[in-house]
Chain A
Amino acid sequence: MKFTLKWLKEHLDTDASIEEICDGLVGVGLEVEGVEDQASALSAFTVCRVKEARQHPNADRLRVCDVETKDGLVQVVCGAPNARTGLVGIFAAPGTHVPGTGVDLEVGTIRGVESVGMLCSERELMISDSHDGIIDLQGDFEIGMSAAEALGLDDPVIDVAITPNRPDALGVHGIARDLSAKGLGKLKPVNVPAIKGSHASPINVELRFDKDSGDACSMFVGRHIKGVRNGPSPDWLQRRLLAIGLRPISALVDITNYITFGYGRPLHVFDANKVKGTIHARLAKDGETLEALDGKTYTLDDTMTVIADDNGPEGIAGIIGGEVSGCDENTTEVFIEAAYFDPVRTAATGRKLGIITDARYRFERGVDPAFVEPGAQLCTQMILDLCGGEPSELVIAGAAPLNERSFNLRKSRVKSLAGIDVSVERQVEILSDLGFKVSDKGDVLECAAPTWRPDVHGEADLVEEVARIVGLDNVKPAAMPRPHDVARPVLTPRQKRMLASRRTLASRGLNEAVTWSFLPEAHAALFGGGQPELKLANPISSELSDMRPSLLPNLVAAVGRNLDRGQTNIALFEVGQAYAGDKPEDETLRTAGVRRGQTGARHWAERPRSVDLYDAKADLMATLEAAGAPVQSVQVVQGGPDWFHPGRSGTVQLGPKNQLGWFGEVHPRVLREMDVKGPLVAFEMVIDNIPEPKQSTTARPALEAQDLLPVKRDFAFVAEAQVAADKFIRAAKGADKALITDVSVFDVFAGGNLGDGMRSIALEVTLQPKDKTLTDEAIDAVSKAVVAAVTKATGATLRGGG
């Protein structure tokens, strides 16, 4: 919402400076987005008079002018065709920066004649594109007067952002009201003329709605004016509209815009000669079309309100008028429309048709229902003033819903809710200045809300009115009591898991990324997603169309992008949500990581190796452990989801129904379809699947450190290659649970003379004696038990060792 300072002063009697006014606007919640002051840009330019213009001795098209300026008489060479004796124009002295040409003026010699300054065109001042000649001021101007003042450009333009709850501030008058309450001046009352009219309107108005849609247009006020002359509106009006970014069209149209911005009251004017029959408001018929004033044709449906005559729709209610019945320079009879349209329906229609106009903007926020007829009267007066004519009586259909509301404001409530001390007198004054009718009822103030404030619905709103006018800067900070002297822990186990998981992976060399929660449909499908309920109806692009079923696809894509940037050894992870459906419980918190390339850069001491699935497994196990998963009791089983390599992937689970995570090589087909060069290993953990930790004490169990040294024995077994190593380990561990404390795999070998499909697995078994040194016999007995358990569990044969 833009307006000029002079415009504001027509509604507000004030001596406040532009700075004070802007501070006041910000304070009351009308955020100033900018102030545009052409006067300062034009401060070096002044009014001058050409005392004498004579032909240049050496050039046919140039004139030599003696110019009266604020600095006295100077000589200027000028090439403009309209340079003549007696012209009053705008002078720029040497040293002035001319915005239109971008150069700083210097004293020059043109064809042998000295020129000390310049007579300016509008384009040189960048106030219009006109360059037909130099500025030729009409009227009485003093030499040396500022150009901005002479040109009527000494009126700063203020741009304020109006929040959607304040339709009243979409007119200069409403803004002035806030400022007057703030104490920055006195609101001038609106002088609504009571124009009677000399004849009955030849055009009648009607509301044609059934009961269900009666509120679509609850009031329609019309007036016919005959004998008008429509032409360009006067300079002051054009200048004012131009200042706020509106294009002057014709006096009749400019008047409606002026009232729209002055009072927040949109209006429409029909060329009465182009209207057939009664003007009426009704719902559109499905498929009806209207050629609107923006030159476009819109197809309407039966949820939209139109203003129509016997020819059909002539305007879309509250949004835009029709081309056919619009006013032009030939208009001699005009019909004014002032109506009240339902905000919700207007908003819905505007959205559906994609039309944004100043009228819609106001109607959908709610115009003052009590200002329909006054708006028509103001419009009539302006038309009579600027275009002449003879008005008819008003024709009125319906009545606007005044929506009268009254709320009690406890006198103590401003203090208890806003924390600010405001005397009751000041509260009453502020609310009254804002248009509330306030009556003192003892402990409470009964406040009747003004019709132009549809946003006021209760006591809290009244507190807000008082607080914003007093100024929130006057609210004193008050310390919140501490719930505990020393802060207590606040994080949930799930949140702590998230943090631990993240820091663990970062410490393992992975870089944390935050990627979109959405991804392309094709990627979603590759990772088990793409369900219809997870597709956005209005994605920002097809690249971001579906909610991610897993964190991996976006990480894989990120690897691809980093490869394209020349990165080779890549390790990325993310902690975030994945979506299996649109219910809250379908959303899981996960941790996922990907690695690609080598374990490090090439190095003089040792060759880096390629990352493999065991790196991903290590990442997963580390993050599981950090997140408090019972890693000692998890099962690792062969195979994972479809987006992993079928033979090089695994699942970590607590039983088949509770999978905690997956790891492995990403499926080569997935990489191919995502156009990412592999191989690439990955893991994903579902934080939400980790069981809640048992309530534990802070005390640790006693340390059982044995004095006797552990004994290690090696075993090598040969079995079919498919038999999982885990079976060997578990069987060996189980051979003597008291004595065997650790089993590790120190060699795996296939091929050679083992035979096809066979594999050798070598275990190191650690025995921890507790009370006495192990005898050779005891060690032999355990060794036999290990061999027996492993061969039984795996079908292996012992290869040697012991």
Chain B
Amino acid sequence: MTELSELESQLIAAVDAAGDEAALDDVRVSALGKKGTISERMKTLGKMDPEERKAAGQALNALKDKVADAIAIRSTSLKNAALEARLANEFDDVTLPVRPELKGSVHPVSQVWEEVVQIFGDMGFAVAEGPHIETDWYNFGALNIPEDHPARQEHDTFYFNPKEDGSRMVLRTHTSPVQIRTMEKSTPPIRIIAPGRTYRCDSDQTHTPMFHQVEGLVLDETTHLGHLKWCLEEFCKAFFEVDQVKMRFRASHFPFTEPSMEVDINYSVENGQVKIGTGNKWMEILGSGMVHPKVIAAGGLDPDKVQGFAFGMGIDRIAMLKYGIPDLRAFFEADLRWLRHYGFSALNVPTLPGGLS
């Protein structure tokens, strides 16, 4: 047994002395390898009588385990030491800038489109669409704007050249033609909004020849002006993200609604920024009214049975108000500086539970 404890001391000393993984492996081979000292002694067990073999075997196995554990511990400590040594030489300047990535953006008009759809979608409005190049009928006639009506002059219409039959197409001056197209292919109850591009032959500080409107149309048997007010008030509160907004409903005139009203909301100017829902100034934001019986009839429905409201609102305009964007013309200039500044991140998808802005 003395011999074994000597051997143990030798082997443990050799393990501790191993300076690297290779040396440690040499120790392992010399002790535990096929021809290692412990393995050689194992081979002698067969020649012993059972009693002797049992005792010697136990002792040898214990020694083997001890040495193996020592090697494992030494190995871990050598690995750690090697790692420490490597890490000591590894250093990157974390303050260096990362690789550049282009940062994309979504245009404010698109963002507001989605915001508007979120709000009206929750109220059960579908999103309807119609062509930009319209017939005179859909843009004017069906909307109770007969030819030579002074209201037509106020539309600053873009015309295409007359066809052989004398008719001429127009660029839609409002999203209201979608009212008619919707009535033609659906049956009440109808709740739609129709956001999209609209065109007027007008260009100055505050007008662009193309802009965006959102039309709203509700038709059933009972909807009245009170519902319109509620709908618009709820929309404005949700869109401008304020608890209260004061709205002023002024009688007005549109050929396609009767009664008609223009709607103002209250605002104040603080530090040069418009704040909706506070203050005592009024700003017009939309036109609306009860759909004119002639328009309902033009859409192929029975005005004695069907009634409801319609409204039209400028998407660019409410985007400017909400996000403090000063100049309408810049919306359509595709200036990267503007797009990056006023645009929205790709992942900033407006939702009602998550907030619209």
Q: Is the CB of A587 within 8 A of B132?
A: yes
Q: Is the CB of A472 within 8 A of B249?
A: yes
Q: Is the CB of A506 within 8 A of B104?
A: yes
- Encode contact with A along B106-133: 1 for CB under 8 Å, 0 otherwise: 1101100010010001111111011111
B189 CB to closest chain A CB, in angstroms?
A: 8
- Encode contact with B along A469-503: 1 for CB under 8 Å, 0 otherwise: 00011011111101110011111100100010011
Given contacts A492-B127, A511-B336, is CB(A468)–CB(B251) below 8 Å? Answer: yes
Given contacts A464-B259, A558-B334, is CB(A163)–CB(B252) below 8 Å? Answer: yes
Does A621 sit at the interface, judged by CB under 8 A?
no
Residues of chain B with a CB closer than 8 A to A327's CB:
none
Whole-angstrom CA separation of A533 from B346 in the bound complex: 37
Stretch at the interface among B7-15, B49-57, B72-80, B224-232: B224-232
Does B321 sit at the interface, judged by CB under 8 A?
no
Residues of chain B with a CB closer than 8 A to A506's CB:
104-106, 343, 345-346
Q: Is the CB of A512 within 8 A of B224?
A: no
Q: Is the CB of A562 within 8 A of B110?
A: no
Give the residue of A348, A417, A510, A516 whose beta carbon is less than 8 angstroms from that of B307.
Answer: A417
Does B248 sit at the interface, judged by CB under 8 A?
yes
Residues of chain A with a CB closer than 8 A to B148's CB:
343-344, 347-348
Q: Is the CB of A29 within 8 A of B253?
A: yes
Does B199 sit at the interface, judged by CB under 8 A?
yes
Q: Is the CB of B224 within 8 A of A487?
A: no
Give the residue of A164, A502, A577 whose beta carbon is less than 8 angstroms from that of B110.
Answer: A502
Residues of chain A with a CB closer than 8 A to B262's CB:
31
Does A351 sit at the interface, judged by CB under 8 A?
yes
Q: Is the CB of A509 within 8 A of B104?
A: yes
Does A268 sit at the interface, judged by CB under 8 A?
no
- Encode contact with B along A501-524: 1 for CB under 8 Å, 0 otherwise: 011111111111111111000000
Q: Is the CB of B160 within 8 A of A582?
A: yes
Does B24 sit at the interface, judged by CB under 8 A?
no
Residues of chain B with a CB closer than 8 A to A576's CB:
197
Q: Which residues from 527 to 580 on chain A have a C-beta closer than 8 Å to any C-beta of chain B?
A: 532-540, 544, 547, 554-555, 558, 561-562, 565, 567, 569-572, 575-577, 579
Q: Is the CB of A29 within 8 A of B250?
A: yes
Q: Is the CB of A571 within 8 A of B227?
A: no
Q: Is the CB of B160 within 8 A of A536?
A: yes
Q: Is the CB of B230 within 8 A of A480?
A: yes
Q: Report the interface size class on chain B.
A: 35 or more
Q: With a 10 A CB-CB cut-off, give which of A504, A532, A547 has the most chain B CB atoms.
A: A547
Whole-angstrom CA separation of A458 from B259 in the bound complex: 11
Q: Is the CB of B109 within 8 A of A514?
A: yes
Q: Is the CB of B226 within 8 A of A476?
A: yes
Does A165 sit at the interface, judged by CB under 8 A?
yes
A27 CB to closest chain B CB, in angstroms?
A: 7
B193 CB to closest chain A CB, in angstroms?
A: 9
Residues of chain B with a CB closer than 8 A to A502's CB:
106, 110
Does A103 sit at the interface, judged by CB under 8 A?
no
Stretch at the interface among A196-204, A316-324, A598-606, A627-635: A598-606
Does A364 sit at the interface, judged by CB under 8 A?
yes
Q: Is the CB of B127 within 8 A of A491?
A: yes
Q: Is the CB of B201 within 8 A of A538?
A: yes
Q: Is the CB of A460 within 8 A of B293?
A: yes
Does A365 sit at the interface, judged by CB under 8 A?
yes
Does A139 sit at the interface, judged by CB under 8 A?
no
Stretch at the interface among B31-39, B83-91, B92-100: B92-100
Residues of chain A with a CB closer than 8 A to B335's CB:
561-562, 565
Does B261 sit at the interface, judged by CB under 8 A?
yes
B236 CB to closest chain A CB, in angstroms?
A: 12
Q: Which residues from 13 to 56 on chain B have a C-beta closer than 8 Å to any C-beta of chain A?
A: none
Does A735 sit at the interface, judged by CB under 8 A?
no
Given contacts A364-B150, A513-B107, is CB(A475)–CB(B251) below 8 Å? Answer: no
Q: Is the CB of A467 within 8 A of B99?
A: no
Residues of chain B with a CB closer than 8 A to A476's CB:
226, 229
Give the residue of B97, B225, B248 whose beta carbon is less than 8 angstroms from that of A467.
Answer: B225
Q: Is the CB of A480 within 8 A of B131?
A: no
Q: Is the CB of A532 within 8 A of B231?
A: no
B255 CB to closest chain A CB, in angstroms?
A: 8
Q: Is the CB of B259 within 8 A of A467?
A: yes
Given contacts A163-B252, A475-B226, A483-B191, is CB(A512)–CB(B197) below 8 Å? Answer: no
Q: Is the CB of A503 within 8 A of B106?
A: yes
Stretch at the interface among B60-68, B151-159, B272-280: B151-159
Q: In the complex, what residue of chain B is closest to A26 when comparing beta carbons?
A: B250
Q: In the complex, what residue of chain A is closest to B150 when comparing beta carbons?
A: A164
Does A674 sit at the interface, judged by CB under 8 A?
no
Give the residue of B114, B159, B253, B336 whose beta carbon is less than 8 angstroms from that of A499.
Answer: B114
Residues of chain B with a CB closer than 8 A to A415's CB:
224
Q: Is the CB of A477 within 8 A of B104?
A: no
Q: Is the CB of B133 within 8 A of A417?
A: no
- Encode contact with A along B164-201: 1 for CB under 8 Å, 0 otherwise: 00001101000000000000000001010000010101
- Encode contact with A along B315-356: 1 for CB under 8 Å, 0 otherwise: 000000000000000011111110110010111010000000
Q: Is the CB of B104 within 8 A of A507?
A: yes
Q: Is the CB of A509 within 8 A of B101?
A: yes
Give the residue of A419, A508, A537, A587 whose beta carbon is less than 8 angstroms from that of B104.
Answer: A508
Given contacts A27-B251, A512-B105, is CB(A537)–CB(B225) below 8 Å? Answer: no
Q: Is the CB of A417 within 8 A of B224?
A: yes
Q: Is the CB of B334 within 8 A of A464?
A: no
Q: Is the CB of A416 within 8 A of B224?
A: yes
Whole-angstrom CA separation of A760 from B27 in the bound complex: 53
Q: Is the CB of A534 within 8 A of B160?
A: yes
Does A757 sit at the interface, judged by CB under 8 A?
no
- Encode contact with A along B219-250: 1 for CB under 8 Å, 0 otherwise: 00011111101110100000000000000111
Q: Is the CB of B100 within 8 A of A601?
A: yes
- Encode contact with B along A157-175: 1 for CB under 8 Å, 0 otherwise: 0000001111000000000
Q: Is the CB of B249 within 8 A of A513?
A: no
Q: Is the CB of A547 within 8 A of B133?
A: yes
Residues of chain B with a CB closer than 8 A to A540's CB:
158, 201-203, 209
Residues of chain B with a CB closer than 8 A to A584's CB:
130-131, 133
Q: Is the CB of A511 within 8 A of B340?
A: yes
Q: Is the CB of B99 within 8 A of A606?
A: yes
Does A329 sit at the interface, judged by CB under 8 A?
no
Does B285 sit at the interface, judged by CB under 8 A?
no
Does A750 sit at the interface, judged by CB under 8 A?
no
Residues of chain A with a CB closer than 8 A to B290's CB:
417-418, 460, 463
Q: Is the CB of A544 within 8 A of B209?
A: yes
Give the residue of B106, B160, B210, B261 whose beta carbon is less than 8 angstroms from that of A512.
Answer: B106
Give the residue of A480, A491, A510 whose beta carbon is less than 8 angstroms from that of B218.
Answer: A480
The 7 closest A-B pairs by CB, nearest first: A509-B102, A419-B226, A29-B251, A468-B251, A163-B253, A600-B100, A464-B259
| Additional 14 contacts, C-beta under 8 A, given A506-B343, A572-B334, A584-B130 | A164-B154, A418-B259, A467-B225, A477-B233, A478-B226, A479-B227, A508-B104, A513-B107, A514-B109, A516-B210, A535-B161, A562-B335, A572-B336, A600-B101
Q: List 14 A-B contacts (CB under 8 A).
A: A31-B250, A480-B230, A490-B124, A499-B114, A503-B347, A507-B346, A516-B210, A516-B332, A537-B161, A565-B337, A572-B336, A572-B339, A587-B131, A599-B102
